[in-house]
């Protein structure tokens, strides 16, 4: 998997001079979308299959700041998947210094819903995707 | 009409220490929505009638900055309406000092579309709203 | 304490038709700022005292959606304070239906820093604030 | 000059299913920053020279919508420069269809200020930059 790079925009900074903490939540989404596309599930395909995967929980630790023009590398992985709930994990690194600096670690939790808001049985309705997520989930 | 007040949020400021210029475009939307509700056209009623009014043009002059916690009064008026195109005008004032300071003047242009993206003949389909906008439009 | 009310703006919704999950993080900030002002610590006073309190962690559960024009009541409380780390807890309720619906529960963790980014010993430097937070922190 | 490409993020869409109009203002900033970097004036160099260039006016026509995952090519040019006021022009094209579709045309106006908010005499203080902008400005 190719890590996702986000370059911090001016409008993402705040009056403290750093990237506003809410914007990392958006970067997590960007990196997740990119990860799914790399898995073979670009948004258009997901949408065509009628499956939505809203965020049901977030858990984030802010470790070091970033600011305008910084390059942030975002590593994404599947942390857990039980067929119903998917947990994605994120690590963000600030590039450009002598060594990368860890900026954030976090997780997002998702469920899979159809257009009517009902749970989708992924194993039955998208068995390939179910298979991929199951294999990617870290073994405990 | 009661003017709309927006209190600047921390996340709306940028690294220059002031409200990011893109956020005033959002405040214009907030004030316009509030103005329409005061006219008797809250969003729910508009939506129920199937009419959308996307922004087709913007024109803004930035005169003085604002920052976190500032109170911004937004005066809205109908500048022009020809049955098809609506032009709204905005004046933003920073309150709290000895005298209000003009922050921004601007205009937004709108058309009226139905759910399929076709132009709505407002005079025929929403005659009351058409009448109101016609009367509110400034006489040249 | 008066709860904080946020009315969802159009620009806070996304293509799924609901408030984008990142925007609740911003609402948490709005409600926290309002809470601190009610405690007697409006931003201007904090800033004048040279103390910053960046977010060091977030933990959020998304329970029900909201959308444009919804009124969201945000209840804030001090969950824990050990003199160094402050944990605030949030409960968001969607108003306007027959009964309020729980939208989100969450926590944010903060530390106190001076302008140079060093930890502030709040007990010594802002004893009144330290006292208030200590008393407000929920007894376990 | 290499045109700037912005891929529309999910969080940039709104409930109408399209990119919210305020987000194009942010894309204009992204493209302008990129253009300045290509001219040899990346943000860090500007900042080191103590020169800020806030937006003093915006003028935008919205021609066609975009949505999540669309690639938007943003062409930037110097439209006018009189030594004090700089006008940048933007053209946005949606890629990916049979032919590019014009999404937006717009302009932003800027002045040059030092850290104290005073006008910078660019010709004297940054003669190289002044020269570049003068040559790039379109001849009427």
pLDDT per position as a tens digit, A38-62: 999 998 888 888 898 999 999 999 9
B56/D61 CB distance under 8 A: yes
**Would an 8 Å CB–CB cutoff place D43 in contact with chain A?**
yes
**Average pLDDT rounded to a whole number, residues C92-119:** 95
- Percent of chain C with pLDDT strictly greater than 90: 86
What does the alpha-carbon distance between residue B121 and residue B123 come to, in Å, rounded to a whole number?
6
**Would an 8 Å CB–CB cutoff place B44 in contact with chain C?**
yes
Chain C, nearest residue to B11 by Cα: C26
* Mean pLDDT for chain A overall: 94
**Average pLDDT rounded to a whole number, residues B36-65:** 93
- Percent of chain D with pLDDT strictly greater than 70: 99
What does the alpha-carbon distance between residue C11 and residue D19 come to, in Å, rounded to a whole number?
10
Interface test with C, best of D14, D66, D68 (most C CBs within 10 A): D14
Residues in chain B with CB shorter than 8 Å from the CB of A67 are 15
Q: Which residue has the tokens 């930035």?
A: B62
B22/D16 CB distance under 8 A: no
**Average pLDDT rounded to a whole number, residues C69-88:** 97
pLDDT of residue A140: 59
Q: What is the 8-class DSSP label of residue C140?
A: -
**Taken in order A99, A137, A40, A60, is the CA torsion positive or negative?**
negative
**Would an 8 Å CB–CB cutoff place A21 in contact with chain D?**
no
Q: Are C92 and C74 in contact (CB under 8 A)?
A: yes
pLDDT of residue B140: 59
Work out the number of other CB atoms within 10 angstroms of the CB of residue C116: 6
What domains does chain B contain, in order, with CATH numbers?
4-136 (3.10.129.10)
φ and ψ at residue B52, rounded to 5 degrees: -110, 150
pLDDT of residue C140: 59
Going by C-alpha positions, the residue among B114, B109, B15, B101 that lies closest to residue B60 is B109
What does the alpha-carbon distance between residue B51 and residue C120 come to, in Å, rounded to a whole number?
54
Chain D, nearest residue to A54 by Cα: D10
pLDDT at C129 over 90: yes
pLDDT of residue C48: 86
Please name the member of A22, A52, A59 whose beta carbon is closest to the beta carbon of C22.
A22
Q: Are A64 and A103 in contact (CB under 8 A)?
A: yes
Q: Are C107 and C54 in contact (CB under 8 A)?
A: no
B58/D59 CB distance under 8 A: yes
pLDDT at C139 over 80: no
What does the alpha-carbon distance between residue A95 and residue A75 come to, in Å, rounded to a whole number?
13
What tokens were used for A32?
Answer: 């997740």
A140/chain C closest Cα distance in angstroms: 23
A139/chain B closest Cα distance in angstroms: 39
Name the neighbours of C, counting chains with at least 3 Cβ pairs within 8 A. Answer: A, B, D
pLDDT of residue D140: 59
D69/A43 CB distance under 8 A: yes
Chain B, nearest residue to C22 by Cα: B11
Length of chain D: 140
D11/A33 CB distance under 8 A: no
What tokens were used for D65?
Answer: 């919508």
Degrees, nearest 5: CA angle C35-C36-C41 = 150
pLDDT of residue D24: 98
Length of chain C: 140
pLDDT of residue A43: 84
B67/A17 CB distance under 8 A: no
pLDDT at B57 over 70: yes
Please name the member of B13, B15, B17 whose beta carbon is closest to the beta carbon of A68.
B15
pLDDT of residue B120: 92
pLDDT of residue C77: 97
**Would an 8 Å CB–CB cutoff place C67 in contact with chain D?**
yes
- Percent of chain D with pLDDT strictly greater than 90: 86
What does the alpha-carbon distance between residue C119 and residue C58 come to, in Å, rounded to a whole number?
20
Q: What is the 8-class DSSP label of residue B98?
A: S
pLDDT of residue C74: 98
Residue C54 pLDDT grade (very low, low, confident, very high; cuts 50, 70, 90): very high
**Average pLDDT rounded to a whole number, residues B43-65:** 92
Residues in chain D with CB shorter than 8 Å from the CB of C14 are 10-11, 13-15
Q: Are A130 and A140 in contact (CB under 8 A)?
A: no
**Average pLDDT rounded to a whole number, residues C25-51:** 93
A19/chain B closest Cα distance in angstroms: 9
A66/chain B closest Cα distance in angstroms: 12
pLDDT of residue B115: 83
H or E segment to which residue C89 belongs: strand C85-94
B67/chain A closest Cα distance in angstroms: 9
H or E segment to which residue C94 belongs: strand C85-94
H or E segment to which residue A122 belongs: helix A122-125
pLDDT at A35 over 90: yes
Residues in chain C with CB shorter than 8 Å from the CB of B11 are 26, 29
B29/D22 CB distance under 8 A: yes
B25/D29 CB distance under 8 A: no
Name the neighbours of D, counting chains with at least 3 Cβ pairs within 8 A. Answer: A, B, C
**Average pLDDT rounded to a whole number, residues D24-46:** 94
DSSP A90-119: EEEEE-SSSS-EEEEEEEEEEE-B-TTSPB
| Angle, helices D21-38/B21-38, rounded to nearest 10 degrees | 170
**Average pLDDT rounded to a whole number, residues A88-98:** 96
**Would an 8 Å CB–CB cutoff place C116 in contact with chain D?**
no
**Would an 8 Å CB–CB cutoff place D62 in contact with chain A?**
no
What tokens were used for B107?
Answer: 């205009």
C62/A55 CB distance under 8 A: yes
DSSP C119-131: BP-HHHHSHHHHH
pLDDT of residue D3: 94
pLDDT at C87 over 90: yes
pLDDT at C28 over 70: yes
Which three-class secondary structure string do you get for chain D? CCCEEEECCHHHECCCCCECHHHHHHHHHHHHHHHHHHCCCCHHHHHHCCCECCEEEEEEEECCCCCCCCEEEEEEEEEEECCCEEEEEEEEEECCCCCCEEEEEEEEEEECECCCCCECCHHHHCHHHHHHHHHHCCCC
Residues in chain C with CB shorter than 8 Å from the CB of B8 are none
φ and ψ at residue A6, rounded to 5 degrees: -115, 125
* Mean pLDDT for chain C overall: 94
């Amino acid at each position: 998997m190719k890590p996702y790079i986000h370059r911090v925009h001016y409008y993402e900074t705040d009056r403290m001079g750093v990237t506003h903490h809410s914007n990392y939540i958006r970067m997590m989404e960007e990196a997740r979308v990119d990860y799914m596309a790399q898995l073979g599930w670009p948004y258009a395909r997901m949408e065509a299959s009628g499956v939505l995967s809203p965020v049901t929980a977030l858990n984030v630790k802010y470790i070091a700041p970033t600011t305008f023009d910084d390059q942030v590398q975002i590593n994404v992985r599947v942390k857990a998947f039980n067929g119903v709930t998917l947990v994605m994990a994120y690590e963000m690194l600030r590039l450009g210094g002598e060594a990368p600096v860890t900026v954030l670690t976090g997780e997002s939790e998702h469920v899979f819903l159809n257009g009517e808001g009902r749970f989708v049985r992924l194993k039955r309705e998208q068995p390939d995707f179910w298979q991929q997520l199951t294999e990617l989930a870290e073994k405990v």
